[in-house]
Every structure is written in structure tokens, then in C-alpha cells.
Structure 1
Amino acid sequence: MSRQTLDGTSVGEVALLTSMAPLGLVMRGLLLILCHRRKASASLPSPWFRHLLLDICVTVLPLVLSYTILSDDLHPVIILTTLVLACLSFYIYHGSGSGHHLQKTTRSFLHSRVQSQNRVPFVTSFRALVNVKTAISILAVDFRVFPRRFAKTETYGTGLMDVGVGAYILANALVSPEARRRRENPPGYQRDALRKQLSSVWPLVALGLGRLVSVKMADYHVDVTEYGLHWNFFFTLAAVRVLASLLFTLFPVNKSWLVAVLLCVFYQFSLETSALQSFIIDNDCEWTQGFLHANKEGIFSITGYLVIYMAGVQIGLYVMRPRTRVKEWLKVMASFLFGSCVLYCALHVCQMTFEPVSRRMANAPFCIWIVAQCLFSMACLGTADIILLYMQSLSACYCVPSSWNPHNKDKMRRSNVVEGRCLLQAVNRNPLLFFVLANVMTGLINVTVDTFNVGRYLSVCLLLTYMFINCCVMQTLHNYGVTVKFW
């Protein structure tokens, strides 16, 4: 892999790739509605394996193809998919008998009440999709069919895989204990939370040590410009969680946005006015000079990831506010889109004023880009959920997954039956296990297959087989109600 090609792709192309998953979720919902409309409701819920195949076809398959053989044809693929969805939606709407009462139906829908059962569906989808996209990317990058512009950038640039590391941090922050709080916490709560956090991050440290040992034993090539010689992403996750809990003992949770801004400004100021920037990107440092020199990328980028985490907690506080009407959730989507646009503009200004995005340093432009991209992604997923809920109300089919439940016990029961079979729910149940399993599978495939010399179509087949195995394991655990959490 030539280093000259590791400068990423455009911000626009990364955002365009984001739209594939929401389109797939809408497709899945519309297909289930059509199944119901054809008097096949008696077969719902069908065997879980059929639901798994459907999820893989409409969620995993489009992502794999868009990351590989269709990467140069994203615009026509998205336009064609949107047209198909529009035709399916019109067909469902035309057969619903609501044609003469569209205005009344829409008004009633906007004021209808929904039940989220202490969770926000599009946040669940976002967190699960971050894991799914990461799992695809960490293996796909080893094949030639994966475009080099999507790989992690070396120093500056916006690569598709650069989004994954930041989005994973923000996804964890969205459902952190601080973001899910519902009332003021008693005195001393944050100190107790810090102690619990210190005792709960040991699996991440253990996984980091396990990865370090296995990589060294297998003599697996690792680019030291990512995190350094010994550091890896598991150590970063553990450090960010502990440092965030420490900050929350000093600052109120509802001011996490302010902490994020101050940290971001301070870190960028340090990069610009000191020798820190040249120290981090200097490839000529001798690793024998000490642990800090050998792992400078991983250690100093923690500050940037901490900024993203604190921003994610603030977003989580906003999202987790009690809301019961569709109209209120539409305002949330509008807020996300507006915030995303503002941050994209700020990103442009920062890149013109300071420096380009750098995952290696996790500088201010990188932090702004990650938060903007995540807001845009959640806005798309939330809009997809609202579209499905509207089509659900038109067709009186309450078996649409990954959407809010109607505020009716009987309708909720029917919706939950199918929703429980959704792959994204299964992945979200054991996200860390899915991430570890994907890493283990990636290592095994790289040991047994010469991935770089595999042909285009065989590469896609291997990627789909790999994802099928990962998804089957998660779905089986979900079907039996197994949550793997040993800390």
C-alpha cells in the first residue's frame, strides 16, 4: 500500500456513504409492510433465520458493495434505490385508502403519541451500524477491492475508516450513565461513578493487552502511525472513559459541551504554539527513547477523543429527554441537521485557518468533523424511522422494526415481536463482543488467506461470509436472551 495514497477522500463522499444504511432500513420496513398487505401477516413473525437473511440483504450487503465494487458508482446506486423506495411507498400509500384524506392523516400522524420504552430507536440503529461498518472495514481494507481513499489516513485527510474510530467513541457516550440520567444525582454520585468506571474498564485493558500480545506473536503488520508501537484502540477507549468520569467529578454533566469546547481549543492551541505537533507527526523518532516516543500518536490523541466523548454526552442528554409525539422528534431531526451544517461550516473555517483533519493527532478539525458526521448520520436514521412509522400508520401494519412503537399496548406487542428479530437489536445487545469477534475473525482470515492477491468478486464473497458468521453469532445470542457482560 503506497503511503502517497493515504490522504483520504472528500467529506462529501463520506457523508454520501452514510445514506446507504438508512435507505436499507426503509427498504426492510417497506418489504415487511408489503408482506403484510399481501395477507401474509399470519406468517409474521417468520422464522428468525429469514429475518436475518433479510437484514443481511438490505443492511450488510449494500454496505459491503458500496465499500468495494460499487464505490465508484455511489450516486447512481443511491438515486436508483431512492426511486425504488419512492415507488414502493407510493404503492403502499395508494392501497391504503387514505388518498382523499392526506392532509388529515398527516396532521393526525404528527400529533400522534409514540412509546420508546426508555430508549431511542435511531440511537440504537446508529450504535449498531457503527459496529457493523467497523467490522466490514477492518477486513475489507486488507483486500485490493477496498479503495485506498477509504482507508485510514496517515497524517492528514478524511478517510472512511477515520470516521469509525471517532464514531465509536461518540456512540458509547450517547448511552453513558451521565447521558441517561433522568434527575439530579445525589452528592457524591460522580465520585462513586468514577470508582465504578475504574473497576469496569479492566476488560478493555485486558483486550488491549491481548491484542498487543497476539499481534506480536503472529508478527502481524501494524502501522505504527495509527496509535504507536504498543498502543491500540482498546487502551484509548479505557483511557477516555476514565478521564471523562474524572472530569464529571469537577464539572456538571450538563456543561459537558463547554468542557468539550475548552478542551478542543486548548489542545489545538497547544498543537499550534508548541513543538507538540511536530513531535507527534515526526516519523524519525527513535522508539528506544521511551514509551512516550513509541506511542505518541495513541497517547496524545486521547485528548481529541475525550472532546468527542464529552460532546457525545451532551448530545445524549438532549436525545434522552422525554418526548412522546412525532412532531417533537421531527424537531430533533431538524436540530441535528442544523447542528451538522453549522459544524461542517466550522470545519471548513478551521481547515482554512489552522490545518486539515488529522486522525493521527485527533486535532480540532477532526473532532468537529466526527461530531458533524455523527449528527448527520443520526438525522438520516431518525428520518428513516419516522418515514417507516408514517407508512406503518397508513397500512395499519405494526410489524416495522427499528421504529418507535405506537402508544397502544396491543400494537406495541405486535411491533416488539418482529423488532426483537432485528439484526441491529442483536448487535446492540453485545456490541463489545461483536467488535472483538470481528477482530478475531479478521486475524484468522489474514493468517489463512493472502488477502491482497484475492480477486474482486472473491473478496466480496469472503467479506459477506465473514459478516454472515458474525451476524449469525450475534442473532443466536440475542434469540436466547444472552448478554455477554462479565464486568
Structure 2
Amino acid sequence: MGSRAAADLVLDPNPKIYHNQYGGNRTLEEAIAKYVPVYEWSWTETLFQSWESLLLILATFWCIFLARLVSHKLGLFDSPNRCYAVEFALIILPCILLVTVAVDYSCYVGLVMLLATLWFLQRSRFLERARSRQQFDLGKRPVALSVLRSVTHLLTAVCILAVDFESFHRPYRKSRQFGAKLMDIGIGLFVFTMGSVSRRTRNFTDLRRSVVYSALPLILLGLARTVAILVVGYGQDEHEYGQHLNAFFTLGFTKLLGALVSILARRDVHLLPLGFGLLLLHQFGLSILGISDYVMDDEVVRSNLFNANREGLVSLPGFVSLYLLSIYVNRWMVAITQLTYSQMVQKLQRLFSIALILWSLFGLSTYAIGISRVTCNFGYVMWMMAIGGSTLLISFGAIDFVINSVMPWDSSGLEVDEQEKGLLTEETAAKKRAKPIVPFTISQALNQNGLTFFLVANLLTGAVNIFLKPENRSSLESVVILLVYMFLATKLAHELLKRGIRLA
């Protein structure tokens, strides 16, 4: 399954040595071992990995919802600092524990969360209160999307440092070829959330804006990271994106190519067939033309720029497809922002149906072609869309339908929108001081300065690896270091939010 045919092996003058069209040679036994079993995957193990990853994501969402309820109950919405403290304790601390020392208790934690949720739904009479509402105001940028973006930033930031500690749960580490582990999710959800706050390119002005303000900075950051790694001598796994490419390059090129391709769509609805069409062509190349095996073959000599960076380059069509489909989901979400009760229920039902279809496609892909982040194949894109759709459904329902019905919070959205755009004037700054910028303080902070937060997290990760030697730290030391690391990164973003400053 997933292996290249024996016809790809070419007989060498030495009858005991064989080589393939991509370079490298080996004995017949080595060749058979290479081309038959290496690219196989266990679909049951992949499903379990996906469930394990999804459980942690849902636990993080649950902690965010809990922080919202606790802050409201304690009346902390007039104090961003106290809200931040509550959210740090209820969101970031559990997230760190669940990927390190408390990972063995994940199922029990999930059970407690489920029971607590059922108890809250039963006691709050949320359905009765939701029916009594005149309308549901989602806004042009739904809170559900903001929360999803913040969860992506938080989990990625925690994992990029935690993975260097012995206490980190090893099954969460990235897959080399096929798999659906926690750290495989990071780049995919970044692309999904990037698309969820983007629009299709309509003209040259839109294209120039996307390139100059979004794609180019990411590509320059990728270049800076590559240069810094070469200068410092910091190790990089070439099987992730290649010898020279990294996640910043992938995001930048995805934004650039996505902006170019989306010009072909005259309406938002055209993004759906455009994205799926590109994805099917990508999968055809991976499966039928043998490109997947070419990417994953360790014997392919990294003799030129393309071979050296084949992982990052070959995966781009898949990520562009994911980006286009994400834009479509976002445009559908915000098509109507003022909903009646029946319209709200209908939207939730449609989201549930979409999530069910996506998970079904993921399940079929798991069995037929596998899930590969390295090539961003059809299965991986369906996995990301399924996670994105499911978390939007849960966040959309929990925040807008349940929590805001039970514990409403009057927010005009003016301050948050202007903070995210970096357009605070003296007048709106005065309003900001008069009105709280909470709930979801940390989520707002990461949405306003997500790239700044991620850069700081990367710099701190490098500093910890150079000066603190994480591989030699005990479990307790690893938790303490991770807490300090996340406090420094999130507190910086929080202080920028309080001052209405948007850097990137």
C-alpha cells in the first residue's frame, strides 16, 4: 500500500546492487524492504492518533469556555489583568500539563469535562433562553474564528518547546511519512485560520495587498530563520520542509499562490470546486505519478535545490487547496451575521452536516491513501477541514448559542475590531479605557498580534534550547520552564492589546 512498483528499480552492472531513478543504491533485500513496507500505514493507528489529537484540542476549547464563565461569574470584566490571570491558570496551565506530565489522565479529564458540560446545559436552561433572544449577532469576524486562531497559536507555541523535553508525550511528535499526530496539525490549522480571515482576490489591488502585507513578510521571516539556523548551527529536521524551507515559507508561498489562484473564482462559491479540483490534481500526482514516494524516499540525493526542499515544495498545492476551501468556509460563515433563532439552529445543523461529511472523507482517506502532512495529501486536507469545521461548530454553538444566551455580555465590538486593525484614535482609546476589552482576553491578544507572539515564542524556544538544555530537565523543571515561557509570550501580546498596539 502506497509503495512504488519494482519496475522503478534498475539493475546495476553489479548484480547484487540496485539503484532507483532518484539516486542511491542498495542490495535487493534493502530495495524490497524500502519499496514494499516502508510506505505502509496502519489506518486504525491513524484513527487513534487523530482521536488523541482531537481530544486535546477540544480540552483546550473547553478550558477557554470555562474561563469565560468564571470571569463572568466573578465579575472580572472590568479588569483585563485579572481576566488574563484567570485565563492563564485555566487555559495555559492545563494545556502544558496535558502534553507532558498529565497526559496519562487525558481520558479522565475528557470524561470530567463531558459530565460538567452536561450538568451545565441541564442547569442553565440554555435552550429556553436561546429561544427568547430576538437575534444572534455574530459580527463580521465571529468570535468562533478568533478562538480557533488563538487555540492554534497556543498549542503550536506550547508544542514547539515542549517537544524538546523528555516529559513531552512522544506519540504527539510529527510523523515522518504518514500519521495524524498532534504536531502534524500545526501547519494545517495555521493555513486554515489564515484562510478563515482572508478574502478571495478580486483584482490587482487585492493581489498586491496580499503579496506585500501578508505573503512577503512571511517569506522574509522564513529566509531570516534559515539564515539564522545556518549561522548558529541550530539543528533542523530536513524531512519536515526540506533543508532550507520552513513553516514561514510554507505559509508565505501558500498565501501568495492562493491569492493568485483565487483570481479564477468570480464568486465566493467558485472557491469550493476550485479548491477541490486542485486538491484532486495534487493527489493524482502523488498517487499515480509516484510523487509521494519521491518525496518520502530517504535515498533521493538532495543534490539540487528542488530535491533538497522537495517536502516543502511538493506540499504547496495541497496547502493552497486547503487555503481556498478555508476562505469559502469563512465567507459562508459571515454571509449573514444577524440571525433569528431558527436561522441560528439551521446554521448549526448545516455545520454539523458538513463536519460529518468531512470526517467521513477523512476516514475513507485514512484507509485508502493515508494521512500525510509531509505531502499535504487529500487525506490531510480533509483532516484539517474536519477539525476546523468541528471546532467551529463547537465554538459557534458554545459561545454564540449557549454561553451568550445564559450569560450575555454586551459588546459593541468597536474596540476589538479597531484594535485588530490597529486603528485606535484618541476617542476610541478613551472608550477602551471606559469599556472592558474582555472576555477572551488571551484570544483577543493573539488575534491582534499573532505573528508577533509566534516570533517571540520561536526566539524563546531557541534561547531555552541553547542555554537551558531541555533534554536534561526533569518533569517538574520542564513544566516550570514552559509556564515561564508561555507567560512571557502571552503577556507581551496581552500588554500590546491593552495599549491598542498592533505590530503583526
The offset of 1:254, in angstroms, is 2.3
Corresponding position of 2:208: 195
**1:331 paired residue number:** 346
Aligned with residue 166 of structure 1, among 185, 188, 202: 188
Q: 1:67-146 residue pairs with structure 2 within 5 A?
A: 67-84=99-116, 93=124, 105-109=129-133, 112-146=134-168
- The answer to whether the 8 A contact 1:33-1:400 is kept is no
Alpha-carbon spacing, 1:391–1:104, altered in 2? closer, same or farther (3 Å) = closer
Aligned-partner Cα distance in 2 for 1:194–1:206: 18
Q: Given that residues 128 and 427 in structure 1 are in contact (C-alpha distance below 8 angstroms), is that contact kept between their aligned partners in structure 2?
A: yes
Tell me the amino acid that sits aligned with residue 247 of structure 1. Answer: V
Are the counterparts in 1 of residues 68 and 440 from structure 2 also a CA contact under 8 Å? no
Give the match's secondary structure for 2:140: coil
Q: How does 1:214-363 map to 2 (within 5 A)?
A: 214-252=228-266, 253-287=268-302, 289-325=303-339, 327=341, 328-353=343-368, 355-363=369-377
The residue type paired with residue 170 of structure 2 is R
SS in 1 for 2:203: helix
Equivalent pair of 1:426/1:478 in contact (CA under 8 Å):
yes
Aligned-partner SS, 1:72: helix
Tell me the TM-score normalized by structure 2.
0.82
Give the count of matched residue pairs: 444
Say whether the 8 Å CA contact 2:149–2:193 is kept in structure 1: yes
Q: CA deviation at 1:294?
A: 0.2
Distance in 1 separating the partners of 2:117 and 2:334: 30
SS at match of 2:313: helix
Q: Distance in 2 between matches of 1:220 and 1:357?
A: 29
2-side partners of 1:387 and 1:432: how far apart? 31
Of 51, 68, 89, the residue aligned with 1:29 is: 68
User: Which whole-Å CA distance do the structure 2 matches of 1:84 and 1:352 have between them?
Assistant: 35
Q: Which residue of 2 aligns with 1:40?
A: none
Residues 397-412 of structure 1 correspond to what in structure 2 (within 5 A)?
Answer: 398=410
- How far the C-alpha of 1:421 sits from its partner, in A, is 7.0
Question: Is residue 30–residue 89 contact of structure 1 (8 Å, CA) maintained in 2?
Answer: no
Q: 3-state DSSP class of the match of 1:169?
A: helix
Query: Does the Cα contact within 8 Å between 1:23 and 1:384 map onto a contact in 2?
Result: no
Letter in 2 for 1:306: V
1:54 and 1:172 mapped to 2: Cα distance?
Answer: 28
Matched, 1:13 2:27: no
Kindly tell me: are residues 103 and 296 of structure 1, through their superposed partners in 2, closer, same or farther at Cα, counting changes over 3 Å?
closer
What corresponds to 2:31 in structure 1? none
* Rounded Cα–Cα distance in structure 2 between residues aligned with 1:415 and 1:104: 33
How far apart in 1 are the matches of 2:119 and 2:435? 27
State the distance in 2 between where 1:81 and 1:416 align.
Answer: 32
Report deviation, 1:87.
Answer: 5.2
Q: CA deviation at 1:450?
A: 1.4
Q: Give per-residue Cα distances to partners, 1:39-82, cap 9 Å, x unaligned.
A: xxxx7513x32111111112211211111122222121122234
- Which of 386, 393, 413 does residue 372 from structure 1 map onto? 386
Choose from 462, 471, 475 the match for 2:481: 462
Q: Amino acid of the residue matched to residue 58 of structure 2?
A: S
User: How far, CA to CA, are the matches of 2:130 and 2:195 in structure 1?
Assistant: 34
* Structure having greater relative contact order (Cα 8 Å, sep ≥ 6): 1
Q: Which amino acid aligns with 2:211?
A: L
2:473 is the counterpart of 1:450 = no
Q: Letter of the aligned partner of 1:210 in structure 2?
A: A
Contact 2:359 2:386 (C-alpha < 8 Å) held by counterparts? yes
CA RMSD across the alignment: 2.9
Q: Distance in 2 between matches of 1:326 and 1:82?
A: 28
Change in CA separation of 1:292 and 1:105 when aligned onto 2, cut-off 3 Å: closer
Q: What are the ranges of 5 or more consecutive residues in structure 2 without an aligned counterpart?
A: 1-37, 418-430
Q: Is the 8 A contact 2:129 2:405 kept in 1?
A: no
Deviations 1:73-111 (A, max 9, x none): 2121122234445556667x4xxxxx8xx87644213xx
Q: Encode CA deviations 1:191-219: one digit per residue, 9 max, x unaligned.
A: 22223323232211211111001111221
| 1:455 Cα deviation after fit | 1.0
Partners of 1:87 and 1:339 in 2: how far apart?
A: 27
> 1:143-175, CA deviations, whole angstroms, 9 ceiling, x for partnerless residues?
111111111100010110111110000101011
Whether contact under 8 Å (1:27, 1:85) holds in the other structure is no
Could you give the per-residue CA deviations for residues 308-367 of structure 1, whole angstroms, max 9, x where no partner exists? 1011011011011123236333433332222122111112222323x2101111111111
Q: Which residue of 2 aligns with 1:388?
A: 403
1:256 Cα deviation after fit? 0.9
1:62/1:415 Cα in 2 relative to 1: closer, same or farther (>3 Å)? farther
Residue 177 of structure 1: which of 186, 189, 199 is its match? 199
CA distance in 2, matches of 1:248, 1:423: 32
What is residue 62 of structure 1 aligned with on the other side? 94
CA distance in 1, matches of 2:57, 2:344: 20
Deviation of 1:249 after TM superposition, in Å, equals 2.1
Give me the whole-angstrom Cα distance separating, in 2, the residues matched to 1:400 and 1:85: 28
Per-residue CA shift, 1:248-284, capped at 9, x if unaligned? 2223232111011111111111112213122111111
Classify the secondary structure of the residue corresponding to 1:225. Answer: coil
CA distance 1:216–1:329, change in 2 (3 Å): farther
Q: Does 2:71 match 1:50? A: no
**One-letter amino acid matched to 1:229:** Q
The CA distance in 2 between the partners of 1:273 and 1:318, in whole Å, is 34
**1:428 and 1:351 mapped to 2: Cα distance?**
32
Q: For residues 275 and 262 of structure 2, what CA distance do their matches in structure 1 show?
A: 12
Deviations 1:109-140 (A, max 9, x none): 3xx22334432111111111111111111111
Structure 1: gaps (5+ residues): 37-42, 94-98, 180-188, 406-411
> Structure 1 residues 256 and 250, CA, compared in 2 at 3 Å: closer, same or farther?
same
Report whether the alignment pairs 1:429 with 2:465. no
User: Does the residue aligned with 2:101 lie in a helix, a strand or coil?
Assistant: coil
Amino acid at match of 2:185: V
TM-score (norm 1): 0.84
Aligned equivalents of 2:245, 2:165: Cα separation in 1: 24
Deviations 1:372-391 (A, max 9, x none): 11111111211220221122
Give the fraction of aligned pairs with identical amino acids, expressed as a percent: 23
